[in-house]
Amino acid sequence: MPQDFIDDQKLSEALDKAQTIDEVDQITLLRQSHNRALLADAIKDFTEGTIVYLDLMDNLRGAIRTIGFAPGLEFLLNEANRIHIELNATGMRKAGDASDTDAIVADPDAPIRKWPTVTPITSQPTTSDSRNYADLKDEYVKYFVGMQPRTERMGNITQIAAKALQFKPRYATVGRELSIPWWFIAGVHALESTFNFNTHLHNGDPLTSKTTHVPRGRPKSGSPPFAWEDSAIDALGDHQKLANLSDWSLPRALWRWERYNGFGYRRRQIPTPYLWSFSTVYEKGKFTSDSRFSANAVSKQCGAAVLLKHLHEKGAVELDVDRTAKASGDSETEPVIDRTAELGRFGEWWRENLSHIDHFGPHELLVKGGSHATNGLNTDPPERLWPNAIALVNLLETIRKSFGRRTRLNSVYRSKAYNTAIRGAKHSQHMDFTAADIVVDGVSTAEVAKLARRLRSEGVFKGGIGKYRSFTHVDVRGHNANW
């Protein structure tokens, strides 16, 4: 840990630089609220220490905004930022061998089929040594559902969640550009930079130069000093290749977080602290520097999965076990599209009747719905209903072309048993294969519903339009309905 805190000597230097009485007053107040004893006590714990420094920097920025040009306060802000970067250097290091730390593991959108039975986890388990998503997805869900936060760390977890929510607007701005959930970016920022916006999202190195730790020399383009947003886009998009991916299911997000840090813990069959620190899944074992492992070291940072579960339990992130975006109303959680499914006769029928469709495929019409992963009650639509979907697919294609954005189908056909299990409408159009619940990337449900109403008024279709908080329902029932 850095030893030269912002002490009386630094505060005295700041007072020497002050140019107004207001600035002197502000520094004096900071001297009272951020004295050496407070910082020295907090620095005993990584998490508490970094929160103290973040609060200090927030107070400094607020004081500068209040009184304008303030060289003394600017001096303290730079000093606080320097110390915080040193503090962050003791945090999460890359978990990989020198030979493969920079390698990006292939990230196909593989299907998720079913979830394992989960039980509470009370001690550190032995993980799989695989790095392949298909081998690990059930493990991720088992650990996520079974883990418990460590009692002694609940205060820290609460603090970290509060910081993530405080900075949500900045994460969401980058997330919208790359089509990445804000909470995924928050988890990376907490672990790589301890919420410091003066550092690279790649690894916490200062933005005043390209990165010097793994990955080195990022961003590849541009010159320092870098804006945090530009560096974040490079880290998530250009380096990690996470932009515009379709599957942000829970296990996929956990796999991508682990990949971000590296799979070095799996060679030792230890749950990575990058995900599980501060929970019962993780006890000890840590990379103390890039590619250097200590079996007895213990992470003092909160794992990304622990943060995500806390945000979900507090209502800040809507999350289901099988999907990250929980719908509301007459629908269910966003499903995973099984693009490898055997389509058989339905595939032939699609080619005969819907070969002109550019943006959807038959596999998407066979989506089972998120709850099917746990109750197994849905089925493929019976062949007698297939013709009902022709008008629906044409409508979906028109909506997709109108917005020019990826359009995801959350729920299409539902068997009677499945519809009953998820408490769908008694006479739901989904059971007739004439309805779809959709999400258009980057477009509000209000805008989707507005377009659907316009298309209906122009005679493109006759049917129902339902606007929900996280999806829009459209159907081709043959008469108009709104809700």
Domain parsing of the chain, residue ranges: 8-88, 133-313, 344-482
Written as six digits, the tokens of 481 are 């309905």
Written as six digits, the tokens of 183 are 């909470």
User: How do residues 157-210 score in pLDDT, each as one tens digit?
Assistant: 998 999 899 999 999 999 998 989 999 999 999 988 888 898 899 888 888 899
Neighbours of 68 (CB within 10 A): 9
According to the model, what pLDDT value does residue 257 have? 94
According to the model, what pLDDT value does residue 333 have? 43
Percent with pLDDT over 90 in the chain: 31
Instruction: State the chain's mean pLDDT as an integer.
Output: 78
C-alpha span between 265 and 129 (Å, rounded):
8
Written as six digits, the tokens of 366 are 């066979």
According to the model, what pLDDT value does residue 249 have? 82
User: How do residues 29-80 score in pLDDT, each as one tens digit?
Assistant: 555 545 444 444 544 555 656 666 666 666 666 666 666 656 665 666 666 6
Dihedral over Cα of 427, 430, 434, 437: its sign: positive
- Greater confidence (91 vs 137) lies with 137
- Greater confidence (63 vs 119) lies with 119
For residues 279 and 148, the answer to whether their CB atoms sit within 8 Å is: yes
According to the model, what pLDDT value does residue 271 have? 96
According to the model, what pLDDT value does residue 277 have? 94
Give bridge partners of residue 475 from the DSSP assignment: 435
pLDDT(105) > 90 = no
According to the model, what pLDDT value does residue 376 have? 76
Mean pLDDT value of segment 334-348: 56
The pLDDT confidence band at residue 443, using thresholds 50, 70 and 90, is confident
Overall residue count recorded for the chain in this entry: 483
pLDDT(5) > 80 = no
pLDDT(322) > 80 = no
For residues 430 and 415, the answer to whether their CB atoms sit within 8 Å is: no
User: How do residues 231-251 score in pLDDT, each as one tens digit?
Assistant: 999 999 888 888 887 778 888
Question: What value does the CA radius of gyration of the chain take, rounded to a whole number of Å?
Answer: 26
From 87-91, 101-105, 471-475, the region with the lowest mean pLDDT: 101-105
Mean pLDDT value of segment 370-384: 80
According to the model, what pLDDT value does residue 184 have? 96
pLDDT(121) > 80 = yes
C-alpha span between 123 and 282 (Å, rounded):
7
Q: Which residue, among 229, 227, 336, 266, has the nearest Cα to 105 in the 3D structure?
A: 266
Place of tokens 């250009």: 238
pLDDT(419) > 60 = yes
Mean pLDDT value of segment 9-38: 59
User: How do residues 246-263 score in pLDDT, each as one tens digit?
Assistant: 778 888 899 999 988 888
- SS3 sequence of the chain: CCCCCCCHHHHHHHHHHCCCHHHHHHHHHHHHHCCHHHHHHHCCCHHHHHHHHHHHHHHHHHHHHHHCCCHHHHHHHHHHHHHHHHHHCCCCCCCCCCCCCCCCCCCCCCCCCCCCCCCCCCCCCCCCCCCCHHHHHHHHHHHHHHCCECHHHHHHHHHHHHHHHHCHHHHHHHHHHHCCCHHHHHHHHHHHHCCCCCECCCCCCECCCCCCCCCCCCCCCCCCCCCHHHHHHHHHHHHCCCCCCCCCCHHHHHHHHHHHHCCHHHHCCCCCHHHHCCECCCCCCEEEECCEEECCCCCCCCCHHHHHHHHHHCCCCCCCCCCCCCCCCCCCCCCCCCCCCCCHHHHHHHHHHCCCCCCCCHHHHCCCCCCHHHHCCCCCCCHHHHHHHHHHHHHHHHHHHHHCCCEEEEECCCCHHHHHHCCCCCCCHHHHCCEEEEEECCCCHHHHHHHHHHHHHCCCCCCEEEECCCCEEEECCCCCEEC
According to the model, what pLDDT value does residue 334 have? 41
pLDDT(339) > 50 = no
The pLDDT confidence band at residue 148, using thresholds 50, 70 and 90, is very high
According to the model, what pLDDT value does residue 460 have? 93
C-alpha span between 199 and 209 (Å, rounded):
10
According to the model, what pLDDT value does residue 101 have? 36
- Greater confidence (122 vs 72) lies with 122
Q: Which residue, among 306, 323, 318, 278, has the nearest Cα to 144 in the 3D structure?
A: 306
According to the model, what pLDDT value does residue 61 have? 65
Q: Is the pTM of this model over 0.85?
A: no
C-alpha span between 78 and 76 (Å, rounded):
5
Q: Which CATH number fits domain 344-482: 3.40.50.150, 3.40.50.1010, 3.30.1380.10, 3.40.50.1820?
A: 3.30.1380.10
From 91-95, 196-200, 218-222, 364-368, the region with the lowest mean pLDDT: 91-95
pLDDT(342) > 90 = no
According to the model, what pLDDT value does residue 261 have? 86
Q: Which residue, among 197, 234, 194, has the nearest Cα to 217 in the 3D structure?
A: 234
C-alpha span between 240 and 107 (Å, rounded):
10
According to the model, what pLDDT value does residue 49 have? 60
